[in-house]
Structure 1
Amino acid sequence: MDYFLQQLINGLTLGSIYGLIAIGYTMVYGIIGMVNFAHGDVFMVSAFIALILFLILTQILGIAAIGFALLIVLVLGMALTSLWGWVIERLAYRPLRGSFRLAPLISAIGMSIFLSNFVQLMQGPNNKSLEPILSNVLVIPMGAGTVTLAEKQLLIMVVTAALLAILWYVVQRTPLGRAQRACEQDRQMAALLGVDVNRTVSLTFIMGAALAAVAGLLWITYYGVVSFSDGFVPGIKAFTAAVLGGIGSLPGAVLGGLLIGLIETFWSAYFSIDYKDVAAFSILAIVLIFMPSGLLGRPDVEKV
């Protein structure tokens, strides 16, 4: 039982990171109906930004308080990564918004390749590592055994839950959220009613990139290593999570991320680790057969 609970904690931790990245996919898709395939590489760039900023603060500026350093990295990382999100929207999406549907997709894939190769050129092809931080562990007795809950695992799950609650409030209760929901339903009608569509779409990209920055910081804090190729696999997993939960649904994105993380973790623990990706995508296929809109998604309604 204690082994099961330990894997449950590990799966929720990994799934929380997937969920944060998946929110960026689902927000952009919900408003402009396109998948931002560069979002995984934005996450990778944010992890490098977090690593560089943390090393500057701790090793060059000599800040010894780890919590204070992480807070500064979080704020600066979100600002810099949001700038990347804004640039991607202006260069890869806005000029092609009225083109045929495949044009923004091709542009996003091109941006993804550019970001990956840019980081490889700037940082090199080798993995970049960070010394373990937040290494405190809480040992919880469970019958005859014990379950360990690392400080960084608890941090990841709490941050994910808090950001989901904040984002849900922004979307449901603020003028920006009303503008986003209006653009999701009908961008042309929203523009006629006075909604600044370009500003709303740009802010959506910025919010998605800011969440990717949080995920990047949590990733480097948890794993302690990042590579220029780390945008592809987590990005695909997060996109799978968004589709599984129902793309366009914020709670669905986090739910899908948690499920993908749990499936991977339990499959690796009880079966062969070589087939954990097969298991995750198989579950996705089975769910979509019976629920084409995902677990919490809404079916598309054709406008006439």
Structure 2
Amino acid sequence: MSLIEFLQQLINGVSLGSVYALIALGYTMVYGIIGLINFAHCDIYMVGAYIGFFVATYARLPFIPALLIAMLGSALLGVVIERVAYKPLRRTTNINLLITAIGVSLLLENGFNAMFGGNPRTYPGDILKQQTVMFGPIRSDALHLIILGISLLLLVLLNLFVNHTKMGRAMRATSLDKDAAALMGINVNTTISMTFAIGSALAGAAGMLVAILYSSLDPYMGMMPGIKSFVAAVLGGIGLIPGAFVGGIILGVVETFMAAINSKIAGAVAFVILIVILIIKPTGLLGKAVKEKV
């Protein structure tokens, strides 16, 4: 592989990894707040892609308004799922929440399949035109660069929100100790709902971006990216926002280079990484072992 090909694959890998990072953030934020692996999160990613498709196709909205509506619709869905499915079980065991999350995931997938069918759909061709961008001898697809730019912008905005706003401080306090946060006057229920809303909005944005990039939209589109994004969250250190970003980028780059070498085994890379990281460092690359008193 020449240097030019290496740089081209690197750009594609970072672009794909940034999408994984957006989805992984939803997993890691929810886990950091209430200790739940929200397996319905990958289907919110799918719903965001559908919302963007319908407003772009039938309302003929351009890319940015369609993306914002997809994020808003996904955020509202995330809040509804949290309030209806998870909040009543918050004081029960984690296994009850996990089973409920799987049930919500199946409900969304099969519900959308029943309503819209399983045939793939494509976004309007003019929503983001395919263009080739040249950086000297390096050639890249404009869509990859747009996805990378939007993903990085959303990640920066999230970091600013979490670290420099009152709600962000409330989210960090709730993740450390919900009961202590409540005693300090923090509305824990509102904070948890906001966490679901933000994570779901990011997943909805990722769903629309990927559906445009690969020209494919169906009720089961979220399964594989959702699982890989969960691997990215574990790789970086689930519960840590920087970990989700690092894990997503690493996974995207490794998968892209493996696909260039042998496309048949590229899909298995994420699961090999998951097994290796759980054996070598279960807390993830940025995670630290926490001792609990018993």
Matches within 5 A, 1:76-155: 76-132=69-125, 133-142=128-137, 147-155=138-146
Matches within 5 A, 1:232-243: 232-243=223-234
1:300 matched to which residue of 2? 290
8 A Cα contact 2:57 2:124, kept in partner: no
Percent of residue pairs identical: 44
CA distance in structure 2 between the partners assigned to 1:285 and 1:295 by the alignment: 14
8 A Cα contact 1:131 1:224, kept in partner: no
2:150 matched to which residue of 1? 159
Q: Per-residue displacement from partner, 1:54-107 (whole Å, max 9, x unpaired)?
A: 11233xxxx6xxxxx111112211221111101110112100000111001000
- Structure 2 length-normalised TM: 0.94
- Structure 1 length-normalised TM: 0.91
CA distance in structure 2 between the partners assigned to 1:139 and 1:233 by the alignment: 31
Q: CA deviation at 1:280?
A: 2.4
1:253 matched to which residue of 2? 244
2:256 matched to which residue of 1? 265
1:287 matched to which residue of 2? 277
8 A Cα contact 1:138 1:149, kept in partner: yes
CA distance in structure 1 between the partners assigned to 2:159 and 2:205 by the alignment: 17
2:58 matched to which residue of 1? 56
1:36 matched to which residue of 2? 38
8 A Cα contact 1:50 1:220, kept in partner: no
8 A Cα contact 2:122 2:212, kept in partner: no
Matches within 5 A, 1:177-188: 177-188=168-179
Q: Per-residue displacement from partner, 1:113-135 (whole Å, max 9, x unpaired)?
A: 00001110111011111244321
CA distance in structure 2 between the partners assigned to 1:184 and 1:301 by the alignment: 17
Q: Residue 36 of structure 1 aligns to a residue in which SS?
A: coil
CA distance in structure 1 between the partners assigned to 2:289 and 2:172 by the alignment: 16
Q: More deviation in 183-192 or 128-137?
A: 128-137
Q: CA deviation at 1:302?
A: 2.2
What is the letter of the counterpart of residue 99 of structure 2?
Answer: I
CA distance in structure 1 between the partners assigned to 2:120 and 2:149 by the alignment: 28
What is the letter of the counterpart of residue 207 of structure 2?
Answer: G
1:15 matched to which residue of 2? 17
Q: CA deviation at 1:16?
A: 1.1
Q: CA deviation at 1:46?
A: 0.6
Instruction: Note the residue ranges of structure 2 that are not aligned, 5 or more in a row.
Output: none
1:278 matched to which residue of 2? 268
Instruction: Note the residue ranges of structure 1 that are not aligned, 5 or more in a row.
Output: 64-68
Q: Go from structure 1 to structure 2 and tell me whether the alpha carbon gap of 1:184 and 1:301 turns closer, same or farther (over 3 Å shift).
A: farther
Give the 4+ runs in structure 1 shifted more than 3 A.
none
Q: Residue 19 of structure 1 aligns to a residue in which SS?
A: helix
Q: CA deviation at 1:303?
A: 5.7
What is the letter of the counterpart of residue 134 of structure 2?
Answer: V
Q: Does 1:46 align with 2:48?
A: yes
Backbone CA RMSD of aligned residues: 1.5
CA distance in structure 2 between the partners assigned to 1:181 and 1:301 by the alignment: 20
CA distance in structure 1 between the partners assigned to 2:191 and 2:147 by the alignment: 29
1:226 matched to which residue of 2? 217
Q: CA deviation at 1:160?
A: 1.5
8 A Cα contact 1:164 1:251, kept in partner: no
8 A Cα contact 2:46 2:222, kept in partner: yes
